[in-house]
Copies of this chain bind each other. A is one copy, B any other.
Amino acid sequence: MITTRMPDPLTRNVAAAVRIDDLHACLTDPIMTAMNQLNEVAERYPDALSFAAGRPIEEPFDVEDVHTALRLFCEYLNHERGWNRDQVRHAMFQYGPTRGIICDLVARALRDDDGIDVDESSIVITVGCQEAMFLMLRALRRDERDVVLAVSPTYIGLTGAAGLVDLPVLPVRSDATGIDLRDLDAQVAAARRQGLRPRALYVVPTFANPTGVTIDLPTRRRLLEAAAALDLYVLEDDPYGVFGDTEDRLPALKALDTARRVVYLGSFAKTALPGARVGFIVADQVVEHTDGSRAALADELSKIKSMVTVNTSPITQAVIAGYLLRHNFRLSAANRAVAATYTLRRRRLIAGLERRFGRQSGTAEISWNVPSGGFFCVLTLPFRADDRLLAHSARRYGVLWTPMSHFYPPGTVSHQMRLSFSGVTEEEIDRGLDRLADLIAEQMSRRKPGNHHPAAIHRRPQWTNASLGDDYE
């Protein structure tokens, strides 16, 4: 971490080192340091097989696709919008509208492909889904009483963005349905008793990160009713929805949202390309100003964006728009081949786990869940799977994974690993599992006999009704 140019303390007037305690508290948030450590491990062992990174497949992609997409969008502007060469240049070259220049195309994709019918005026194009999260959390955090809730375990990007605006994240337990709605009730009630204001619930309803779990349809409906009853917004994050076993997707919460409770956080990172860094937010809620006028929440988020990134690069918006045009606004169909590859990888991973650890299912010592799509599954072990074990795993066995503890509140001890299968070939999965099996055998041999761990989640279609939280120490 030390740069090559530390100031010489003997030099006159060199600025004293600033103490980390004098900078914003997010910088000492365990999430931030964890992210850093995980990255450092990955950098230190570049040849390790990685079940850690939740990266999309890049093989079907060619740099030439960027050029093609850009040209397609420029032609579209010319033919469909009737823009001349100067207008197209202006759109690509200049500062642009903060809310973006492809809101209409995104609205069309949402309608045609996802069954989400929203007006383009409720959409803001963002620098990836991360900025969408940040804008919404910034808007919601008025003062120290505000809190958000999140289905636990929770994606680190949400927890990290909340930390930037000093917004506590209260965990809500997940169960077999993907979310324990009684716990949601209980957490909101407890927070209100403490004088806090629960503002929203964050959830990845389909093939969640980190668990791979999907919330079923009846629970989706009950979740929306609960949000209305509890007066919460629902922040829906849905980057993996099209990567399932079947083409019959469950409707997004936003598609079921007759009451405008849902703010939809959109990503093109997995369906198009991460390198564009283009996402969006759908916020068709109403904001009432003190003078009695009303605006869409999207308008307010757009104001915040103007002070964070001004606008999303029109060049990257053009690349995404070109993808949408090229695939007739059906990214689910465009991703069918890729989705099939993820399915093969997922099955290979599950089969590999069964082959190596299946015989232990009777003792329930080693278990995993079997998601029906997405990028991730979770392996539960009878020993701690923490950062120290990860470092050992990388150094000694050349295999990387993500300690699940990072998706829980700080200090949580976990016996679980997140295994991501999206970015590894079937052959790499086999080799990676061999290495993982060696690590596990080593750890098992060190255990005292009889020291069994109670958590038992094994080859069920979803989580068992034992909460993921059950394996805390």
A18 contacts B297, CB within 8 Å? Answer: yes
- Is residue A455 contacting chain B, with contact meaning CB distance below 8 A? no
Chain A residues numbered 10-42 whose CB sits less than 8 Å from any CB in chain B: 11-28, 32, 35-36
CA distance A56 to B95 in the complex (A): 9
B58 contacts A299, CB within 8 Å? Answer: no
Q: Which chain B residues lie closer than 8 Å to A451 at the CB level?
A: none
A289 contacts B20, CB within 8 Å? Answer: yes
Q: Which chain B residues lie closer than 8 Å to A236 at the CB level?
A: none
A22 → B minimal CB distance (Å): 6
A85 → B minimal CB distance (Å): 8
User: What per-residue 1/0 map shows which CB atoms of A281-316 lie under 8 Å from chain B?
Assistant: 000111111100111111110011011111111111
Q: Which chain B residues lie closer than 8 Å to A293 at the CB level?
A: 1-2
Q: How many residues of A contact B (CB 8 A)?
A: 111
A166 → B minimal CB distance (Å): 9
Q: A5: nearest residue on chain B (CB-CB)? A: B119
Q: Which chain B residues lie closer than 8 Å to A287 at the CB level?
A: 17-20, 23
A134 contacts B228, CB within 8 Å? Answer: no
A-B contact pairs, 29 of them (CB 8 A): A1-B293, A1-B294, A3-B122, A3-B284, A4-B119, A6-B294, A7-B286, A13-B259, A15-B228, A20-B287, A22-B142, A26-B138, A27-B300, A27-B303, A27-B304, A55-B94, A56-B94, A58-B94, A63-B70, A63-B92, A95-B275, A127-B308, A128-B309, A160-B306, A277-B311, A277-B312, A308-B308, A315-B315, A315-B319
Sample of 12 more A-B contacts, CB < 8 Å, known A5-B284, A27-B303, A277-B313: A3-B295, A17-B285, A26-B307, A94-B274, A95-B274, A96-B275, A128-B309, A164-B307, A164-B308, A275-B314, A277-B309, A278-B313
